[in-house]
A and B are shown apart, each in its own frame.
Chain A
C-alpha cells in the first residue's frame, strides 16, 4: 500500500464459469474520497463491489483494502466497512430499531453501544418516528435510509453504496444525497455505483466508467466531460418516425451528432449559435433545447448508447 490509498486493486478479474464479468480493472481510492463506478446494467459494477466489500473472492489480480488482503483478513476488513447493497435485505420480521441493533451486534458491539448508535442513526436518517414499526410497512425511500443507517452502525471508514437511489422519488433521492454529503464531510470514504449521471456528477470527486467488464474512462466528472464531450449540446426533435434521416443534414453543424430514437443531439461549443445556423438553413425542429454537456453525453460517446436503456 502506498501513501493514502485505502483501497487498491490491480488487474482485478471476476469470472463466473466461462463468463468474465470483470476483465482486469485497476482502481486506487484515496482516504476521504468520494469515488464512483458508473456504467449500465451488466457492466460488472456489482461484481466489483462484492469483491471490494471483501465478500466474494477475485478470480484473478490483487486487491488490498486498508493494506490488508481480503483472502486472509476478510472479517477484519469487513469490520471497518459499511455496505449498502442494491437490495435492502432488511430483516422483515423485526422492527426498524431492532434491525439496527441486531446488525450492530454482528460487529461485537455491546448492547448499550448498539442502542445508543441506533438512536443516533435513526435521527440522522429521519426515521425516529418509525423506530418501532415493522420494516414491511416502510416506503421504499425509508427502507433505503434504514439500509444506510444499518451500514453505518459500525462507524465504517469506507461506505460502499450499490445503486443507492435506484427506484426512489426525487425527494427521497435528495434527502439521501444530503446525508451522503454529511458523511463525506465527516471524512468517510464513499464508494458509489450508479447508473444515474446526475447522481455521479453530484456525489463523486472521481469516477470510472465501466462497460462490459472494463474501465473505459477515469477522472473527475468535469474533466471527463471536457475530455469526451463538447461544452454544450443542442437537442432537436422532429415530427418523424425516424430521426436518422436528419443525420446527414445536421452533421455539418456540429463536431459530433448522435441520433437517438426520439431526438438528435448536436455536440457544439456554442449552442445558441448552432441553433441559429440550423434555423437559417431552413431546418425546423418541433422543439429545441440547448444545455450543458453532462456525464450522460460522455457515456454516450464512450459506449455508443444511452445509459438508461
Chain B
C-alpha cells in the first residue's frame, strides 16, 4: 500500500536486492572483515596517537580527553566512507559494467526497488560496523557516558545520508576516471568537518560553510550523543541528515529510471 502511494520509494521486493548483496558478500568475506578493521585502525592511530599530544579539551563546559572528542568524529567518518564506497563503487559496477541491474529488471522488481534495496543494504552493513566501532570506543575507555549507545542509531542515520548521496552521485559517473571527483569531495569533507578539532577554531566564514557539511552535522550529533550533552539542535541535525538522504534517494531513483529503462 505504501509503495503504491509513494512509487518513488520502492516496495517489499527491495529486500531481494539485500539478499543478493548478502549472497555476494558471503563469497567475499575479506571485504566484510576489512569494513570492520578500517575504523578500528582509525581509532587506534589517530585517537590514541594524538591523545598524548593534545591533552584534554573543553567542550560545552565539560573537560574531556582528545580521544573522547575525536572518536565520535571517527565513527561519523567511517559511516560515511563505508556508505560512500559501497554505494558509489559497487553500484557503478552493477549499473554500468556488469549490468546486473538490467538482469534484475527482467524480474518483477522495479527500478525503485533496486535503489531502495541498495540503501537498505548499506544500512544493514552500517548497523553491524557501527556497533562494532562503538564497542571498541567503550573498550578503549574513551567514553565517560552510557549515552554512547545512542551513537548507534546516529551512525546508521549517517550511513543512510551518505549512501543515498553516493547512489545519486554514481549515476552521474561516466568512467572510472570520474571517481577521482569522489575523492575530491570526500577528502575535504573528512578534513574540515570538525572531526579532528572543533570548528570554532576556524575563521567565521569557513565555519559557516562547514556548517552545511553533512559530515559536520553527523560528527556534532554523534559527539553530543556520546557525551550525553543533549540539546534541541540535535533534532535539527538529525532532520538535516534525513533531508539530505531523501533528496539523494529521490535523485537516485529518478536517474536509475532514466539509465535503466530509457
Min C-beta distance of B11 to chain A, whole Å: 9
Contact A16 B23 (CB under 8 A): no
B102 to chain A: which residues have CB within 8 Å?
85, 87, 89
A94 adjacent to B108 (CB under 8 Å): no
Is B52 an interface residue, CB under 8 A from the partner?
no
Residue of A16, A81, A106 ringed by the most chain B CB atoms within 10 A: A106
Q: How far is the CB of A203 from chain B (nearest CB, A)?
A: 21
Contact A55 B19 (CB under 8 A): no
Set of chain A residues within 8 Å of B20, measured between Cβ atoms: 91, 102, 105
Q: By the criterion CB–CB under 8 Å, are B27 and A93 in contact? A: yes
- Indicate if the CB atoms of B98 and A91 lie closer than 8 Å: yes
Q: Which of B23, B99, B105, B107 contacts A107 (CB 8 A)?
A: B107
A260 CB-CB contact with B under 8 Å: no
Chain A, range 71-107, C-beta contacts under 8 Å to B: 74-76, 78-79, 81-83, 85, 87, 89-95, 98, 102-103, 105-107
Partner of A55, one of B28, B99, B106: B106
Determine if B62 is an interface residue (Cβ-Cβ < 8 Å). no
| Residues on the B chain within 8 Å of A85, using CB | 102-103, 106
Q: B1 near A: Cβ within 8 Å? A: no
B96 to chain A: closest CB distance in Å?
A: 11
Please tell me if A56 contacts chain B, counting CB pairs below 8 Å. Answer: yes
Interface string of B124-164 (1 = CB under 8 A from A): 00000000000000000000000000000000000000000
A103 touches B107 (CB 8 A): yes
Counted as pairs of residues, one from A and one from B, with CB atoms less than 8 Å apart, the total is 72
Size bracket of the A interface? 20 to 34
Question: Cβ of B100: which chain A residues have Cβ within 8 Å of it?
Answer: 89, 91
Query: Roughly how many angstroms separate A76 CA and B13 CA in the complex, as a whole number?
Result: 13
- Asked whether B86 is an interface residue with its Cβ less than 8 Å from the other chain, the reply is no
B191 within 8 A of A: no
Closest to B20 in A: A102
A98 to B23, CA, bound (A): 8
Residues of A within 8 A of B (CB): 16, 50, 53, 55-57, 74-76, 78-79, 81-83, 85, 87, 89-95, 98, 102-103, 105-108, 150-151, 154
Enumerate 13 A-B pairs (CB-CB under 8 Å) in ascending A order: A53-B106, A55-B105, A78-B106, A79-B108, A85-B106, A91-B98, A93-B28, A95-B27, A102-B19, A106-B104, A106-B107, A108-B108, A154-B107
